[in-house]
Chains A and B, each alone.
Chain A
Amino acid sequence: EVQLVESGGGLVQPGGSLRLSCAASGFIFSGYAMSWVRQAPGKGLEWVSGISDTGAGTYYQDSVKGRFTISRDKSKSTLYLQLNSLTAEDTAVYYCAKAQGHPTAAYYFDFWGQGTLVTVSS
């Protein structure tokens, strides 16, 4: 059974940093691309960042480029998202999602975690 468990969310001040983790199990982690998707309060789903199966390719939404960094650890079957220079607009539930499909542009997300809440406030 595929499981994705996010952690690391919490309350952080504007300008602060946070690192989110997503522990994966039930599939060959190194064989799949992964992504982070967020949902701000009262808003819809928004793709944030993605990483290829090998980690060689990383992708970001324009609003987080230069501030967020996605990475993965094959030995720990864990996906990460480093969040820096946070603003109130980054407040959201962050979901990690397993990508499926080929080629890259055809990716869809077949399994999702339960999410971790990031609140940016003073």
Chain B
Amino acid sequence: QSVLTQPPSVSGAPGQRVTISCTGTSSNIGAGYDVHWYQHLPGTAPKLLIYGNNNRPSGVPDRFSGSKSGTSASLAITGLQPEDEADFYCQSFDSSLSGWVFGGGTKVTVL
């Protein structure tokens, strides 16, 4: 059971918009700690997608955006493309655990 809760899967047709939620508690997201997002293809190195809730590293398309409110955060992918098929993870810090925590991951499928 992950500290941060994500839906196991989401899907959408090419060109559509999908969102992935990341729900935490008062000891992590709700405590004000930043949320970050990663894209991971099996067998490869995870890739940083969003940092500091809503910032994109250089080279990440603006189709990806992040937001945070209260004890939750979201990743939105607009204009879904076949190459977006991957696992996506949120990450934050938890003061009760005194460590960094990940969500359970969400598999994005492009129909």
A60 within 8 Å of B (CB atoms): yes
Name the B residues within 8 Å of A95 (CB-CB): 45-46
A59, B44: Cα distance in complex, Å: 25
Given A45-B40, A114-B45: A106 and B52 interface contact (C-beta under 8 Å):
yes
Number of A-B residue pairs, CB cutoff 8 Å, is 72
Bitwise interface map of B from 24 to 37 toward A, beta carbon under 8 Å scored 1, else 0: 00000000011010
Name the A residues within 8 Å of B95 (CB-CB): 105
**In the assembled complex, how far is the CB of residue B91 from the closest CB belonging to chain A, in whole angstroms?**
7
Within 8 A of B (CB), among A1-49: 4, 35, 37, 44-47
Contact A47 B52 (CB under 8 A): no
**In the complex, what residue of chain B is closest to A46 when comparing beta carbons?**
B102
Q: List 11 A-B contacts (CB under 8 A).
A: A37-B46, A47-B99, A50-B99, A60-B99, A100-B51, A105-B33, A107-B93, A109-B38, A109-B48, A112-B45, A113-B45
Size category of the binding interface on chain A: 20 to 34
**Chain A residues proximal to chain B, CB less than 8 Å:** 4, 35, 37, 44-47, 50, 59-62, 95, 97, 100-101, 105-115
**In the assembled complex, how far is the CB of residue B3 from the closest CB belonging to chain A, in whole angstroms?**
10
**In the assembled complex, how far is the CB of residue B64 from the closest CB belonging to chain A, in whole angstroms?**
15
Within 8 A of A (CB), among B12-71: 33-34, 36, 38, 40, 44-48, 51-52, 57
**In the complex, what residue of chain B is closest to A99 when comparing beta carbons?**
B100
**In the complex, what residue of chain A is closest to B51 when comparing beta carbons?**
A108
Name the B residues within 8 Å of A60 (CB-CB): 99
Given A45-B89, A101-B34: A108 and B102 interface contact (C-beta under 8 Å):
no
